[in-house]
Structure 1
Amino acid sequence: MSKMSTDLERHALNGPTMGTRWCALFHAPSGFDAKALRAALQAGVDEVDAQMSTWKPDSDLMRLNRAPAEEWETVPGRLMDVIRLGLRIGRETGGAFDIGMGDAVTAWGFGPVEASSDRIRSAMQARRLPAPDALEIDGARVRKRVPIALDLNGIAKGYGVDRLAEILGSFGVRDGLVGIDGELRAMGLRPDGEAWTVALEKPDPQRRAPHSILALQDCAVATSGDYRHWVEVQGRRLSHTMDPTRGAPLTKPPASVTVLAPTCAEADAWATALMVLGPDKGGDIARRLGIDALFLLRGEADSIGSCRIDCSSKAVINLEASRRGTL
């Protein structure tokens, strides 16, 4: 955009997707066709949902899940991109991020059907082959070596955010902020030349309040936590994040993990992986691979402590506990 910031009009677009809403905030010259852009953004996230949803029986992912083992299935390009990325991060985390946990997610009631004690027992007793070992890829085709149910909920939403950013760019918008729920990607700077500021939520299941303020430029952020989606079993609240070694929810997860990465799909997947690994093992891997992460940990009386892994000053301009404005 070549015009001065005073010549730009603010646009805040949004729409439904994946059981929540997408949003896009940017500034454009007067006369910009925001209606056409909104239609393109909606089509973009609709495509991601149609390919990767576990809530839609006719999605490409569910078609792949129904396919018998040892048979090749052709999948669309975007779904293949996410599967490949999920398998790579699965290998890098030693299986902490596993896209093959669909049976456990469904069994515990985090999918489109209610929890089932029989399915829970089956998921916990299953002899699991990690997804990178269970899947074979040949170009646009995927073959399951063993029966496996894929679930991309730990990465698809972030990928949807990346699609929003790509579509914004295709319309000539180079500076903006896009998101789906709490997954966000910042492009360039605000019209005043400052970074985009967003609030990192305090991990409190009772109310929404900011814990910290992040200032982002050309970077994505995603948070995984124990405080929004859970089931209660025998009076104990269990997070939606699955432990691949047990086929069950994590028993002592961090309150939340926030990750910053070049793409939101990467940030989304790594936030889930580091929830599973915890601050010690996860912190070691984050340092080794150069991943920016913030672990929020519950202490006595639900007090919140933190463990910050800051590997790149380019990703986070400012991350300080603050009450200064939100998005």
Structure 2
Amino acid sequence: MILPLERQVFSGATMGTRYSAVFYARGDAVRSGLNRDLQAAVDAVDAQMSTWKPDSALMRLNRAPTGIWCKMPEELFTVLAAALEIGRLSEGAFDIGVGDLVAAWGFGSQAASSDQKWPDAKTTVARRPAHLCLELDHAQQRVRKLAAVTLDLSGIAKGFGVDELASVLMAHGVEHFLVSIDGELRAAGGKPEGSPWRVAVEKPQTGHRAVEGVIELSEGAVATSGDYRHFVERDGIRYGHTMDPRHGAPLADGPAAVTVMAATCMGGDAWATALLVLGPGTGAELASRQGIEALFIDRLPGTAPDAITSFQSSKEN
């Protein structure tokens, strides 16, 4: 007798937030060790890529001197390679070499204090992007720094973690699932009866959560970057946690949010960050050239930070 598919839900702590896995499977997935394997997958990502753990593989790489080859775990090497390629394709709009800026503006593991001395956001400092600072040895899975750089993977690691959750479910034979970490999502198979998963796109407002729209998703990933959850305000200007590598400061005049639909959540996560930095003009043109489907949610000129927004899709270019 073939058992019916049952809706099951697992969740757990990871990367300072929580992951969720909603899926349909036959029988008790707990007995198969699926919950254990899901937690182990995101724990491995966090252990390798966190800037909050001094002994993570990423932080050891940050401390390594220039010119020295460093052997990397497979997962971290995969993320570094993808990050540098997207950095190159976006001409530095996505740059994992902004760890020093993240720390200087109080967004990193060292929280901002009341007497924090802020950098000058109006001073543009030429920076060498990470894809020009790192050399990868794919054959031996090694990395070396060609110049001093502090890496931060906050714009791609959660997306990769979502992909790892998806890989665990597929390895267990699960064909219908929706997995997420902090709003980055990946789906497969739709629901067993044939309907797609319905994914809410948040309204870019602070202080409460509301739905801007809904995406129907059967296969693929959705990732969003925005400035409405993590930001600082200085001299009446809101600075989001996304760094603008072109100016060496947090993004202050970008869209409210960018949502990207992609094959993998790792790619969607990084591209959403790059397109947020580039904005709806240049960003939408680049997305169109790269075959990326993106939705830009922009504030209307002269409105308050949480006022009505306008929309632009990369499909319009």
Separation of aligned partners in 1, 2:31 and 2:195: 23
Residue 31 of structure 1: CA displacement? 3.8
Residue 34 of structure 1: CA displacement? 5.4
Per the alignment, residue 20 of structure 2 pairs with 23
Amino acid of the residue matched to residue 130 of structure 1? P
Separation of aligned partners in 2, 1:124 and 1:87: 26
Per the alignment, residue 52 of structure 1 pairs with 49
Deviations 1:59-84 (A, max 9, x none): 00000000011111111111000000
Query: Quick one: structure 1 residues 294 and 138, their matched pair in 2 at CA, closer, same or farther if it must change by over 3 Å?
Result: same
Separation of aligned partners in 2, 1:78 and 1:166: 13
Contact 1:107 1:119 in 2 (8 A): yes
Residue 119 of structure 1: CA displacement? 7.2
Per the alignment, residue 325 of structure 1 pairs with none
Residue 245 of structure 1: CA displacement? 1.5
Amino acid of the residue matched to residue 108 of structure 1? W
Separation of aligned partners in 2, 1:175 and 1:78: 24
Mapping 1:23-42, distance limit 5 Å: 23-33=20-30, 36-42=33-39
Query: Quick one: structure 1 residues 253 and 56, their matched pair in 2 at CA, closer, same or farther if it must change by over 3 Å?
Result: same
Tell me, yes or no, if structure 1 residue 305 matches structure 2 residue 302.
Answer: no
SS in 2 for 1:259: strand
Per the alignment, residue 83 of structure 1 pairs with 80
Residue 125 of structure 1: CA displacement? 6.7
Separation of aligned partners in 2, 1:119 and 1:233: 9
Separation of aligned partners in 2, 1:210 and 1:203: 9
Per the alignment, residue 231 of structure 1 pairs with 232
Query: Quick one: structure 1 residues 46 and 193, their matched pair in 2 at CA, closer, same or farther if it must change by over 3 Å?
Result: same
Per the alignment, residue 319 of structure 1 pairs with none
Query: Quick one: structure 1 residues 77 and 298, their matched pair in 2 at CA, closer, same or farther if it must change by over 3 Å?
Result: same
TM-score w.r.t. length of structure 1:
0.90
Mapping 1:1-327, distance limit 5 Å: 7-33=4-30, 36-115=33-112, 120=119, 127-139=126-138, 140-299=141-300, 300-301=302-303, 302-310=307-315
Worse-matched range after superposition: 24-33 or 181-190: 24-33
Separation of aligned partners in 1, 2:288 and 2:32: 43
Residue 273 of structure 1: CA displacement? 0.2
Residue 33 of structure 1: CA displacement? 3.6
Amino acid of the residue matched to residue 133 of structure 1? L
Gaps of 5+ in 1: 312-327
Q: How many residues align?
A: 308
* Percent of residue pairs bearing the same amino acid type: 52
Gaps of 5+ in 2: none
Contact 1:107 1:123 in 2 (8 A): no
